[in-house]
Homo-oligomer: A and B are copies of this chain.
Amino acid sequence: MRIAGIPYRSVWVDPADGWSVRIFDQTRLPWAVEILRLTDEEQVVHAIRSMQVRGAPLIGAVAAYGLALALRRDPASLEAAAEMLGRTRPTAVNLRWALERMLARLRNTPLPERAAAAYAEAALICDEDVAMNEAIGRHGLPLIEEAAARKGGGRVNILTHCNAGWIATVDWGTALSPIYRAHDAGIPVHVWVDETRPRNQGAALTAWELGAHGVPHTVVADNAGGHLMQRGEVDLVIVGTDRVTRRGDVANKIGTYLKALAAKDNGVPFWVALPSPTLDTRIADGVAEIPIEERGASEVTEATGLLPDGTVATVRVAAAGSPAANPAFDVTPARLVTGLITERGRCEASEAGLSSLFPERFA
């Protein structure tokens, strides 16, 4: 998508040298648009772990380039580099999916050809991600068109949580892809943007990218969604996901489950957008089986933002000496999910629904 009129992807190979990897430092957004240059796999590990890149699809794509950077230095480092990159984030399934795809492609490639093959495969992963997200936008669009029709052309209010926009993917986004498409088609959409504490990806990143594209939106505290639904001010919820189980349970940013409960209680459709690499058919029960990353307490006890003088600062918001816990994801059971939006169309959040669209994954 565009920043100040210039089209970008969220990861690319530097055209000047043909091998280094470029990303936006998302820990600096929205305060500053800074492009980083990654030159080895250790920088990629740091970028993923420190959330300079985040968003399940983007993590997978950047990890694939991390492997390419490793093989450029040492073609024999394939397994060790994949192992190291795989340990960076435990919840997102795309990371493992991308690394396994790279391993399968490269294990039997002669050492002298590995680096070039890795760059080609990583580029393919990126192009496929863009194509999938574009398709998610097409398949999600009718949900917004129908809501607009129900409202007689009135504003369609869509609530989203965290950031599942273009900067969480290679381009387009997942949850935001139908929204960008609807907006571009002239449907009057308005997005309730959950702040998404503790890291504020909603207030910082989703608000930033919607604003840059000109999509009307309003930031709200994570606490507000239930009230807005109770008052009829939400027509539709669309969120992204870090992992969907074979029966349709959805792991996503902490707090998603609370919004799904509120949507159910108020008859608001609750849709989850996912490219198929996010589907993990190896597990069924999301609550029991998906490992939930526990991140550092300081994310909860602190908040980062801009001081009046324009410098970025971190302030402690919790009382001195109080400990904090920071589970980063939760699991929304399939029973609370109206449906899934994938690159092959929409389906019920169930094994029947998913296997109808992706029979080869359930064979």
Which residue numbers of A lie inside 8 Å of B, CB to CB?
A: 30, 192-193, 195-198, 200, 203-205, 207-208, 210-211, 217-228, 230-231, 253-255, 257-259, 261-262, 265, 287, 292, 300-308, 312-327, 329-331
Contacts and interface: CB of A to CB of B under 8 A. Distances in A.
A305 B316 contact: yes
Contacts of A318: 195, 200, 203-204, 207, 219, 305
Nearest to A223: B255
Contact of A258 (B198, B210, B258): B258
Contacts of A218: 322-325
9 contacts: A197-B221, A197-B223, A198-B223, A203-B319, A207-B322, A211-B319, A219-B323, A223-B255, A304-B315
- Nearest 10 A/B pairs, CB to CB: A223-B255, A305-B315, A227-B330, A208-B319, A207-B322, A303-B303, A203-B318, A30-B319, A305-B317, A207-B319
A318 B31 CA distance: 9
A29 to B, nearest CB: 8
Contact of A221 (B254, B261, B305): B254
Nearest to A324: B219
A220 B222 CA distance: 13
Contacts of A308: 314
A195 B257 contact: no
Contacts of A303: 303, 305, 315, 317
- How many copies of this protein are present in the complex? 2
B224 A325 contact: yes
B257 A219 contact: no
B255 A301 contact: no
Chain A interface, DSSP helix/strand/loop, else mixed: mixed
A304 B317 contact: yes
A314 B306 CA distance: 8
A208 B322 CA distance: 8
A284 B254 CA distance: 34
A231 to B, nearest CB: 8
Contacts of A226: 255, 257-258, 261, 330
B258 A225 contact: yes
B301 A203 contact: yes
Contact of A30 (B217, B225, B314, B320): B320
A221 B300 contact: yes
A301 B219 contact: yes
A196 to B, nearest CB: 7
Contact of A223 (B230, B258, B262, B316): B258
Nearest to A320: B30
A322 B203 CA distance: 8
A303 B307 CA distance: 10
A359 to B, nearest CB: 31
Given A218-B325, A221-B300, A307-B313, 12 more contacts: A192-B325, A197-B197, A197-B223, A218-B323, A219-B325, A222-B255, A223-B258, A257-B262, A258-B259, A302-B305, A306-B320, A308-B314
Nearest to A323: B218
A40 to B, nearest CB: 32
